[in-house]
Each structure stands twice: as C-alpha cells, then as structure tokens.
Amino acid sequence: MSHEQQISTGLILDAWNLQIKRANNLFNYLSAEQLQSEIAPDRNRGVYLLGHLTAVHDTMLPLLNLNERLYPLLDNIFIENPDKSFAMMPSTHDLKFYWNQVNETLAAKFTRLEPSDWLKKHNEVNAEDFKKEPHRNRLNVLINRTNHLSYHLGQLTLLKNKS
C-alpha cells in the first residue's frame, strides 16, 4: 500500500472525525427543549435526527464488517418511519448514550484498520460484483456517511437560539 494511499485514507478519516466532533459539540450544546423542537415548521425534530444518525451509523458496523449491530431496534422508529410516527420513543438521554456508544465503537474499530483494509469490499456487495465494481468498498461508505452527517448537521444547527 502506497504512502499516497495512506495520506488519502487519512484525509477521509479526518473529515469523518471532524463532523463527528461537530455533531457531539452541537448535541451537547442544545438543550433538551431545543432538541424536542422542529428544525423548521412541520419538519423533523432534533431528537428524531439524533436517533436517525445513531441508527444509520449503527448500520455501518455490519456494513463495514466490524461488529454486530448495537441497537437494531432503532431502525423502525428512525429509518423506516418518519418523525412523529410513534407515541413512545427512547428518551433524549438514552439516545445520546446510544449515539456515543455507536461512534466510539466505530472509532475503536477504525484504529485497527490499515489503509488497504479500507479498499476491501463492504458487506452489501458480493465478491463477483466487487471485481467489476471496486469502488463499492468501505472507504466509499465512510465518504458517503460523512456527507450524510454534514447534511443533517446543517439542519440541526437551526435549532440553536430556539427557545
């Protein structure tokens, strides 16, 4: 594996870590009331996006072949159904705990991966297809999930200064 490949992988990991740090800062900054409010009229609540991001990051564990799911029950509430579909959902306190557990598990697993490991196939492509489509690798998943996180951070930041 080349030095150049090491640099590129490092940049992509740095971008992921930066967005995770921004998200952590924002979730710590926002009050429980702010997280309960909508990012814009009739749009998702902050707490739904917190659960959504947690569930999506949790799916990365098996997708990147790193670990089993930690909180598979989140998918029904936060991926498969829109906000306000359920009268009962996990508390903000619990969701913040899940969010940290998932991202810390990812971070611990990431430290054990070499640059070459990032170019291996992810778990939703079979070996035959991967030969023809080598871009369907772990690094691609990480790039796309980083942009997904940035997308929702742009929305969550709108909760600042809301009473």
Q: Footprint of its own copies on this chain (CB under 8 A)? A: 1-2, 4-5, 7-12, 14-15, 19, 39-41, 43, 115-116, 119, 134-135, 137, 139-140, 143-144, 146-148, 150-155, 158
Q: How far is the CB of 155 from its own copies (least distance, A)?
A: 5
Q: Which is nearer to its own copies, 72 or 131 (CB)?
A: 131
* Residue bearing tokens 């917190």: 50
Distance CA 14, CA 32 (A): 29
Q: Which is nearer to its own copies, 57 or 71 (CB)?
A: 57
Q: How far is the CB of 113 from its own copies (least distance, A)?
A: 14
Q: How far is the CB of 9 from its own copies (least distance, A)?
A: 7
Q: How far is the CB of 70 from its own copies (least distance, A)?
A: 25
Q: Where does residue 37 fall: left (phi above 0), alpha (psi -120 to 50 degrees), or beta otherwise?
A: beta
Q: Which is nearer to its own copies, 88 or 151 (CB)?
A: 151
Q: Which is nearer to its own copies, 72 or 134 (CB)?
A: 134
108: exposed, middle or buried (C-beta count within 10 Å: 0-12, 13-18, 19+)?
Answer: exposed
109: exposed, middle or buried (C-beta count within 10 Å: 0-12, 13-18, 19+)?
Answer: middle
Q: Which is nearer to its own copies, 32 or 143 (CB)?
A: 143
Q: How far is the CB of 33 from its own copies (least distance, A)?
A: 17
Q: Does residue 38 sit in helix, strand or coil?
A: strand
Q: Which of 68, 143, 142 is nearest to 110 (CA)?
A: 142
The structure tokens listed for 25 are 């800062």
